């Protein structure tokens, strides 16, 4: 799948993994619609080829409006969707203040899992309406899970559940969309240097990096973007979850 002269949608595109991916796709010649919450879009960096659209990924109406805009250029068909939007609050099932907030659990699943599904389903409908390339391909969906889907730590019940759902969604989604020439692949990152880690101390960050077998450092958002572009360009990758974690296996705490 080529990246030049196509349109792409990237959720969570104003910062972190999404921003790096949006910039990389634009640099490869794509027209990129970066979806994020209104405040995030206002503070997003200006990147040539990237347009920011205030969007709540849990809202089908919001997502449809954004996808319609992304699919509106007949000269650059919508071919690529990368879902990076997500939240990661921590709470134990039983804590000092009682049970895990049901509203918080629901919110994490709505943003991380339901949001991913809404974007994939709505975008797939638009992609399926495009003309295929000479190989019968119409598009690629790259979703974002986490190694927490496999190695969830204390306090990650909601986050791990949501990311485990994305892992479980990958193969059936790839099988469902195969008839339309749409591939689905998921990236499961380890510990990445994103705004989620911005509030922790350097000492804590160094301790996290020391736990990674090799390279013994945190991953960079541009490395996620590099992998996402490789997936787009590699036509035989489909229905798979790829760990990007430096061989890290998370301890319980």
Catalytic (active-site) positions = 159
Could you tell me what percent of the chain has a pLDDT over 90?
91
Confidence of residue 199 (pLDDT cuts 50, 70, 90): low
Could you tell me what percent of the chain has a pLDDT over 70?
98
What confidence tens digit (pLDDT) does each residue in 96-149 have?
999 999 999 999 999 999 999 999 999 999 999 999 999 999 999 999 999 999
CA distance 183 to 91: 35
Q: In what order do the strands lie in the sheet with 31-36?
A: 50-54, 31-36, 7-11, 78-83, 139-144, 182-189, 241-244
Residues 69-106 as b or e (16 or more Cβ within 10 Å = b): bbbeeeebbbbbbbbbbbbbeebeeeeeeeebeeeebe
What confidence tens digit (pLDDT) does each residue in 2-51 have?
999 999 999 999 999 999 999 999 999 999 999 999 999 999 999 999 99
What confidence tens digit (pLDDT) does each residue in 89-107 have?
999 999 999 999 999 999 9
Residues 26-55 as b or e (16 or more Cβ within 10 Å = b): bbbebbbbbbbeeebbeebeebeebbbbeb
Supply the mean pLDDT for the chain: 95
Confidence of residue 204 (pLDDT cuts 50, 70, 90): confident
3-state SS assignment for residue 150:
helix
pLDDT score of 200? 67
Q: Domains plus CATH for the chain?
A: 7-242 (3.40.50.720)
**pTM of the full structure:** 0.95
CA distance 178 to 175: 5
- pLDDT of 248 over the 70 cut: yes
A 10 A CB-CB count for 162 gives: 28
Look at the alpha carbons of 193, 199, 200, 202 in this order and tell me if their dihedral is positive or negative. Answer: positive
Name residue, tokens 């890290």.
248
Angle at 200 between CA 229 and CA 44, to 5 degrees: 45
């Amino acid at each position: 799948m080529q990246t030049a002269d196509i349109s792409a949608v990237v959720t969570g595109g104003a910062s972190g993994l999404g921003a790096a991916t949006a910039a990389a796709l634009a640099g490869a010649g794509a027209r990129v619609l970066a979806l994020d919450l209104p405040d995030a879009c206002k503070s997003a960096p200006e990147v040539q080829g990237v347009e920011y659209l205030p969007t709540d990924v849990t809202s089908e109406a919001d997502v449809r409006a954004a996808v319609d805009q992304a699919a509106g250029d007949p000269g650059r068909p919508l071919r690529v969707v990368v879902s990076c939007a997500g939240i990661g609050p921590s709470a134990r099932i039983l804590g000092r203040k009682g049970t895990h907030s049901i509203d918080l659990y629901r919110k994490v699943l709505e943003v991380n899992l339901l949001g991913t599904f809404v974007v994939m389903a709505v975008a797939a409908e638009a992609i399926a309406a495009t003309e295929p390339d000479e190989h019968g391909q119409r598009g690629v969906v790259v979703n974002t899970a986490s190694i927490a889907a496999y190695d969830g730590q204390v306090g990650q019940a909601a986050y791990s559940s949501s990311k485990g759902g994305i892992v479980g969604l990958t193969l059936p989604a790839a099988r469902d969309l195969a008839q339309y020439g749409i591939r689905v692949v998921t990236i499961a990152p380890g510990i990445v240097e994103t705004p989620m880690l911005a509030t922790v101390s350097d000492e804590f960050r160094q301790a996290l990096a020391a736990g990674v077998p090799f390279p013994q450092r945190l991953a960079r958002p541009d490395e996620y973007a590099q992998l996402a572009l490789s997936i787009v360009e590699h036509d035989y990758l489909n229905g798979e979850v790829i760990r990007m974690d430096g061989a890290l296996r998370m301890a319980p705490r």
